[in-house]
Chains A and B, each alone.
Chain A
Amino acid sequence: MQQNFLLKKEKLGEFLTALSKEAEVFVPSLNENNATCFLPYNSQELYLAERTQYSPKKILSPPLEKEFIFRKKSSSFEIEHLLDNKKRVFFGVRSCDTHAIKVLDKLYLEYFTEDKWYKAIREDLTIIALQCSKPCENGFCQSMGTDKPVGHDLLLVEKEKSFFVEIASERGEQLVKKYRDLFNQTNFTKPESKFKCSKELETTNLKEILDKNFFHKKWKQEAKKCLSCSSCTQVCPSCYCFLSFDKFILNTGDSERFRAWDSCQLKRFTRVSHDFFFRESRESRLRQFVMHKLSYFQENFGFPLCVGCGRCIMVCPVGIDLTEIASTIRGDSK
Chain B
Amino acid sequence: MPKKLKAGFYSLACCEGCEIVMFDLEENFLKALDFVEIVDARLFNGKHPGEKLDIAIVEGCVESEVDKKHLLEIRERCKYLVAFGACATIIGIPGIRNALPKEIQKKLKRKAIIPVKDKAFPISAFVKVDALLQGCPAFTHEILDVFVKLYHGIVPKLEEVPVCSECRERENPCLLFEGIPCLGPVTYAGCKALCPSERAQCIGCRGFTEDGNFEALRKKFQEMGIPKKEIYNLFTYFNPDPFTKKMEEK
Do the beta carbons of A263 and B197 come within 8 Å of each other? no
Cβ 8 A contact of B174, one of A247, A251, A268, A317:
A317
Chain A residues closer than 8 Å to B233, beta-carbon distance: none
Do the beta carbons of B216 and A230 come within 8 Å of each other? no
User: Does B159 interact with chain A (Cβ within 8 Å)?
Assistant: yes
CA distance A86 to B160 in the complex (A): 34
User: Does B105 interact with chain A (Cβ within 8 Å)?
Assistant: no
Cβ 8 A contact of A231, one of B34, B152, B160, B168:
B168
Do the beta carbons of B199 and A33 come within 8 Å of each other? yes
Do the beta carbons of A35 and B173 come within 8 Å of each other? yes
Do the beta carbons of B171 and A54 come within 8 Å of each other? yes
CA distance A64 to B189 in the complex (A): 14
Chain A residues closer than 8 Å to B172, beta-carbon distance: 33, 35
Chain A residues closer than 8 Å to B197, beta-carbon distance: 33
Chain A residues closer than 8 Å to B219, beta-carbon distance: 225
Do the beta carbons of A230 and B161 come within 8 Å of each other? yes
Do the beta carbons of A251 and B185 come within 8 Å of each other? no
Chain A residue with the shortest CB-CB distance to B1: A253
Chain B residues closer than 8 Å to A37, beta-carbon distance: 171
User: Does A63 interact with chain B (Cβ within 8 Å)?
Assistant: yes
Assuming A229-B164, A250-B28, A266-B165, is B185 touching A317 (CB within 8 A)? yes
CA distance A53 to B167 in the complex (A): 13
Could you mark each residue 174-213 of chain B with 1 if its beta carbon is under 8 Å from any beta carbon of chain A, else 0? 1011000000111000000000010100000000001111
Residues of A that sit less than 8 Å from B by CB: 31, 33-35, 37, 53-54, 58, 63-64, 224-231, 234-235, 247-248, 250-251, 261, 263, 266-268, 282, 315, 317-318
CB distance from B234 to the nearest CB of A (A): 15
Chain A residue with the shortest CB-CB distance to B217: A227
CA distance A58 to B171 in the complex (A): 10
Top 9 A-B residue pairs of the complex, sorted by shortest distance between their CB atoms: A234-B168, A229-B164, A229-B185, A227-B185, A317-B176, A63-B169, A35-B173, A267-B211, A37-B171
Residues of B that sit less than 8 Å from A by CB: 28, 31-32, 34-35, 144-145, 148-149, 152, 159-162, 164-165, 167-169, 171-174, 176-177, 184-186, 197, 199, 210-213, 215-217, 219-220
Do the beta carbons of B161 and A227 come within 8 Å of each other? no
CB distance from A64 to the nearest CB of B (A): 8
CA distance A53 to B171 in the complex (A): 8
> Can you add 5 more A-B contacts, CB < 8 Å, to A230-B164, A266-B160?
A33-B173, A35-B173, A225-B219, A266-B161, A317-B174
Do the beta carbons of A248 and B168 come within 8 Å of each other? no
Residue contacts A-B, CB under 8 angstroms, 22 given:
A33-B171, A33-B172, A33-B197, A35-B172, A54-B168, A54-B171, A63-B169, A226-B213, A227-B185, A227-B220, A228-B212, A229-B164, A231-B167, A231-B168, A234-B165, A251-B31, A251-B34, A251-B35, A263-B165, A266-B160, A268-B159, A268-B160
